[in-house]
Amino acid sequence: AAGVIQSPRHLIKEKRETATLKCYPIPRHDTVYWYQQGPGQDPQFLISFYEKMQSDKGSIPDRFSAQQFSDYHSELNMSSLELGDSALYFCASSPGRGGRTDTQYFGPGTRLTVL
Amino acid sequence: GQNIDQPTEMTATEGAIVQINCTYQTSGFNGLFWYQQHAGEAPTFLSYNVLDGLEEKGRFSSFLSRSKGYSYLLLKELQMKDSASYLCAVRDQNTGRRALTFGSGTRLQVQP
């Protein structure tokens, strides 16, 4: 079965640079979520999109922005990178509203290292 | 907001049974999820509970008591590959969120 695809899988940037992370949800999933997981920490919700509109907002810094495109893929744009942004960034997708569980399925993550 | 508590670490023996507990406090409970996460990998969905009771899925079962704000994940016939972190996550409709709030996870070590 198709899974969530994220690219790149690994990214190394320097402080104050920008980064763009991409997420391709499971086919026919219309909701995308972004999570940040620091070393030894639990995933922290950043932002989500339903039908290309922002649906929920978590602890996303103002330096970050995201959007969902017409093909439902999503991009997380990160600017003025800081050392503390080094983390695993997960994208998850779910089938959307309705359904019993609306379970989120996670992609393999992008490991961002800021030097 | 939600407060989600899980034990930090647990150790169990191959072939045994282990129960991982999770307590939560939330104003608009709308489902509890258990995920398994191996180090450096993505969380993998294990189970979902929204009504009280036990949900069984092969070697894994999950229980929920909404009145007590309590859930547990039961792993039977433990295998070495079950060594991983187990994350309890809650969805709260009152915050308007469909996103999940995760507990800090329980790191399970299965020993031979």
Is B45 within 8 Å of A103 when comparing Cβ atoms?
yes
Chain A contact for B24, CB < 8 A?
Answer: no
Q: Is B87 part of the contact surface with chain A (CB cutoff 8 Å)?
A: yes
Q: Taking the CA atoms of chain B, what radius of gyration do you get in angstroms?
A: 14
Query: pLDDT band for position B26 (50/70/90)?
Result: confident
User: How do residues B6-15 score in pLDDT, each as one tens digit?
Assistant: 999 999 999 9
Give residue B68's pLDDT: 96
Q: How confident is the model at residue B95 (pLDDT cuts 50, 70, 90)?
A: low
**Residues A52, A98: Cα–Cα separation, whole Å:** 17
User: How high is the pLDDT of residue A70?
Assistant: 93
Instruction: Classify residue A93 by burial, with Cβ atoms within 10 Å: 0-12, 13-18, 19+.
Output: buried
- CB contacts of B43 in chain A (<8 Å) are 43, 90, 106
Chain B residue with CA closest to A108: the answer is B42
Mean per-residue pLDDT over chain B, rounded = 92
Does B68 lie at the interface with A, CB-CB under 8 angstroms?
no
The answer to whether residue B101 neighbours chain A at the CB level (below 8 Å) is yes
Q: Calculate what percentage of chain B has a pLDDT beyond 70.
A: 95
Q: How far is CA B29 from CA A103, B59, B65, B68, in A?
A: 15, 26, 11, 12
Q: What angle do CA B95, B97, B103 make, to 5 degrees?
A: 90
CA within 13 Å, CB half, B102: 23
Which tens digits make up the pLDDT trace of A76-108? 999 999 999 999 999 999 987 655 568 899 999
Measured distance CA(B50)–CA(B41) in Å, rounded: 26
Interface test with chain A among B57, B98, B107, by most A beta carbons within 10 Å: B98
User: Which member of A41, A56, A109 has the closest CB to residue B42?
Assistant: A109
User: What is the rounded CA–CA span in Å between residue A20 and residue A64?
Assistant: 10
